[in-house]
Amino acid sequence: MKQKKKILPALAIGNILKNKATYVPYLGVSIFAMFTYFVFDLILKNDVMQSIPRATYAMVLVQIGFFLLGIIMIPFLYYTNSFLIKRRKKELGLYSILGMEKKHIGIMMFFESILIYVIVLVVAIVLGLLFSKLIFLLLLNMAKITVDASFSISPKAIVDSIIFYALITGINLFVNLIQVGKANPAELMSEAKGGEKEPKHLFILSLIGILMIGYGYYLAVFAKINSEIFLDFFLAVLLVIIGTYFVFTSGSIAILKRMKKNTKKYYQGANFITVSGMLYRMKKNGASLSNICIFATMVMITVICTISIYFGMDSIISFKYPRDIVVDFIGADETVVVNLEKILTEEESMYQMSPKDNLYYQYKKLFLTKEGSNFRITKDDDNYGNRTSLILMTAAEYQRLSGNSVNLSDKEVLFYSTGADYAENTVELAGMTFTIQKEFQDFIIGRKEKNNVYEAYYVTIVKDASVMDEISAFYGLNGGPENISSIYTFSFDGSDEEIASFSQSVYEKVAALPGFAGYTNYNEEQLQVQSMYGGLMFIGVFFGSIFFICLIIIMYYKQITEGFEDQKNFEIMQKVGMSDEEIRMTIKKQIRLVFALPLVGAIVHTLVGMQMVTMLMGVIWMFELELIIICTVGILLLFALFYGYSYKKTAKAYYKIVKM
């Protein structure tokens, strides 16, 4: 007994060395997973992050990414472990036949798990310590955060990683022991050759899968930007994932069986081999192919969004903050403009900074609820999506801003929406119906974007101040010049420090002007937005990498599985008279077709899903549709090349096994 216990650790080491083809990828993906987990935890637990200005958004996004990483890694490492134990079952069955008791096999598997656990954690933590500062600086660079501080190592992050991977290792070992303990040696020997079981009720499951994907596509294509779009997005994703699984595991088999029933075509040489071979492969690997398809979709959408945001950062900021400084006045006459511009001229000569894009206008702003063509007073229980802002402006003010002459009657207005077109001939305001003389498509006070829903507003140009006062009084805003709001807004170039000094000096003098109501320097908010989106890009880069590595590992294990199964198929095909060249060409054709299906499915999923993704990106003020299209096409082509390259590389393992 003691001798057996001494042999078991040696057997565990020998087993890992003998099965390098299956263990090395598992070790690689486990090390990468724990390295990523450890680095994320180090960044979160670094004291420096608590003191960095504008790091709040980046920290929140890293926390979200860290949480999602844990959710993704547990099932994925469990999934890769299932490939590992499947390849080991024949070997474990042989040990049992040779007289090794199951408890000793269990002890041997325990030692194997401990050895893998130690290797993974040691390598992951060492790599994390080596590269954590570099990744930390990458996060700060993407978030455009400047800091001069050392990166500290948190022992708590090491403890977290030890516990987290112990949990994963414990789950995998427990499942492995249950599978081996419940099976007899004969079952272990045969199960290693078994694939995924053919599901029952093929046509019903196929139909369900098609309907689920169809409805998911419907939600994506016909989605509207409203309060339910996030719920629709997650529902569409869930439906497409489940539907893809059913289509690959049941739909593909149902189609091939239907082709098999067409005896005239099926019993032709090439068709017979191709259809029967594909039927065999899809029965055994349908679930794996659906996973490849889903991970490929995740990679493409994640990278497309990340790249689009990276190249569209300037557009996002310029839309949200078209000018740096906004000065608000209430009840001020036009003399305040003269005084303000005098202050700017004085500060310009002192700081050598010239304001640009100056804009001044007067208006009244109402917060209302829109119901069709009617704008009414908002109630507490009104849907948030129907609430909006209405800017009232006189024809004279519009003419001054635009340079266009306009002639309106008391019941006529000009209309402008910064979001989707209003597209009505009349508008109901203050219990009166106004005819829209013209709805224009651009106006200097606000950029128009049809996908801008959450911050869109309407501008209504009325005949004169008396009409404007009548409308505003109905909604509770008293008339008269003392309640007219004015905005003076401008921008200037310079460093963050120069802008801050200039802005502070201007504010101190402007605050003393009559009617002063507020002063906002959006430069700091622009930097915070850069920090937030930089953190988002950081998460996107990491998760794109994680999804792609998961994809490669699944492909690699599939190739190994195919290789061991086709090893016997080669012999059978040779016995029925096929030449080596015919066998190779047939199998190559089948393997290429099998791996092309997930790629085609992923591309279709991505193209359909981009409709909804584009709308969701509008929530963060990313409206550069042309840029998103260019990024989508570029990433799809690039991913197809990487996918093909990865397939060729992983296929080498397959052909190496088959030729043994």
- What is d(CA 335, CA 580) in angstroms, rounded to the nearest whole number? 93
Task: Quote the percentage of the chain above a pLDDT of 90.
Answer: 11
- Token pair belonging to 412: 């006529």
- For the purposes of burial, counting CB atoms within 10 Å of the CB of 184, is it exposed (0-12), middle (13-18) or buried (19 or more)? exposed
Distance CA 424, CA 426 (A): 6
- Residues 570-582 have a mean pLDDT of 61
Q: What is the pLDDT of residue 570?
A: 63
Judge contact between 110 and 173, C-beta under 8 A: yes
Tokens of 548: 């792609």
Which residue in 533, 336, 359, 331 sits closest to 443, CA to CA?
359
Parallel, antiparallel, or unpaired: how do β-strands 387-394 and 426-429 relate?
unpaired
Q: What is the pLDDT of residues 486-509, one digit of tens each?
A: 888 888 777 777 788 888 888 888
User: What's the average model confidence in pLDDT over 576-588?
Assistant: 63
Please give the average per-residue pLDDT across 581-600, as a whole number. Answer: 72
User: What confidence score (pLDDT) does residue 193 get?
Assistant: 53
Q: pLDDT-derived band of residue 1, with 50, 70 and 90 as boundaries?
A: very low
Q: What is the mean pLDDT of residues 586-610?
A: 81
With CA atoms as reference, report the closest residue to 232 among 241, 222, 245, 242: 222
Contact 115, 23 (CB under 8 A): no
In the chain, what are the domain boundaries? 1-194, 202-321+548-660, 323-520
**What is the token pair recorded at 325?**
């400084």
Least confident of 96-105, 424-433, 603-612, 634-643: 96-105
* pTM (predicted TM-score): 0.73
pLDDT tens digit sequence for 219-230:
888 877 665 677
Query: What are the residue ranges of helices labelled H in 513-659?
Result: 523-575, 580-618, 625-658
Give the pLDDT score at 541. Answer: 78
Give CA angle at 571 (568, 573), nearest 5°.
110
Residue 608 reports pLDDT greater than 70: yes
For 273-323, write each residue's pLDDT tens digit: 555 555 555 555 666 777 788 888 888 888 898 888 888 888 888 888 888
Alpha-carbon distance 467 to 392, whole Å? Answer: 10
Long-range contacts of 442-448 (CB under 8 A, 24+ apart): 443/401, 443/402, 443/416, 444/359, 444/401, 444/402, 445/359, 445/361, 445/391, 445/401, 446/416, 446/418, 447/319, 447/322, 447/418, 448/416, 448/417, 448/418, 448/419
- Reduced to 3 states (helix: H, G, I; strand: E, B; else coil), residue 223 is coil
Write down the mean pLDDT value for the chain: 78
269-311 and 313-320 helices, crossing angle to 10°: 50
Q: Which residues contact 111 (CB under 8 A, 6 or more apart)?
A: 8, 9, 11, 12
Number of residues in the chain: 660
For residue 350, the one-letter residue type is M
Nearest to 361 by CA among 342, 388, 383, 336: 336
Residue 147: what are its φ and ψ, rounded to 5°? Answer: -150, 140
Q: pLDDT-based confidence at 118, cuts 50/70/90? A: very high
pLDDT of residue 606: 93
Identify the pLDDT of residue 660: 47
